[in-house]
Amino acid sequence: MSDMMNQHCSHEVPSTLGRPKANQRTFTDAMLAYLNGASPWLRFIGIMGIIYSGLMVGGGLLFFFAVPVMEGISDGIAGFGFSFEIFGWIGAWGGILYMAMGICMLIPSIYVHRFGAKIRSYARTGEDRDLEQAFKSNKSLWKFCGILFISGIVFVVLSMAFGVLAMVALGFYI
């Protein structure tokens, strides 16, 4: 007689899964090898991201200092209908954009580096606290990326609406 036909056997799934006991974690050797193999790359990507974000913030500051250089060039470009004020606005907004992107890149880079460093520490010491901190950094990384993604979607939708309103206000019809 099969279990499906047995009236005395319950086929219901328990409503809650039991929690594993504190010291009965099961990490296979392959899992640990994958974590240990990822750790140097995570730390490398984190460090390179921090350096790159610093370069982006520095590049954003250069936009502000490039405006006086453009002052000399603006006389030659004035014949094309451009004025010095346009270069000032482009420099200011370009600098702000680059610095904002650099700061937005700094935060996930720090989380990635922490994740890799804590995995490395766990591999050396075997302390559960290090692994817990590693996964906390990983959670924070993806939470930040999710919030940034949602903010980007909102920004794109608002930009599109503003663009349509600007076109209508200027007399361009869709």
Q: How does pLDDT run across 151-173, given as a tens digit for each residue?
A: 999 999 999 999 888 888 887 76
Measured over all CA atoms, what is the biggest interatomic distance in the chain, rounded to whole angstroms? 95
Q: Say if residue 41's pLDDT is above 80.
A: yes
Whether 102 is in a domain gets the answer yes
| The two structure tokens encoding residue 96 | 């702000």
**29-to-32, 71, 111, 170 alpha-carbon distances in Å:** 5, 64, 25, 65
Whether 36 is in a domain gets the answer yes
Average pLDDT over residues 88-107: 87
- pLDDT value, residue 15: 47
By the 10 Å C-beta count (0-12 exposed, 13-18 middle, 19+ buried), 109 is classed as buried
CB distance 67 to 88 below 8 Å: yes
Name the residue range of residue 60's domain: 31-140
pLDDT-based confidence at 14, cuts 50/70/90?
very low
Average pLDDT over residues 125-144: 94
Q: Say if residue 89's pLDDT is above 60.
A: yes
Whether 16 is in a domain gets the answer no
* Claim: this prediction has a pTM higher than 0.85: no
Core vs surface per residue 38-64: b (16+ CB within 10 A) or e: ebeebbebbeebbeebeebbeebeebe
Give the count of domains, the chain: 1
Among all chains, which residue has been given the structure tokens 């606290």? 129
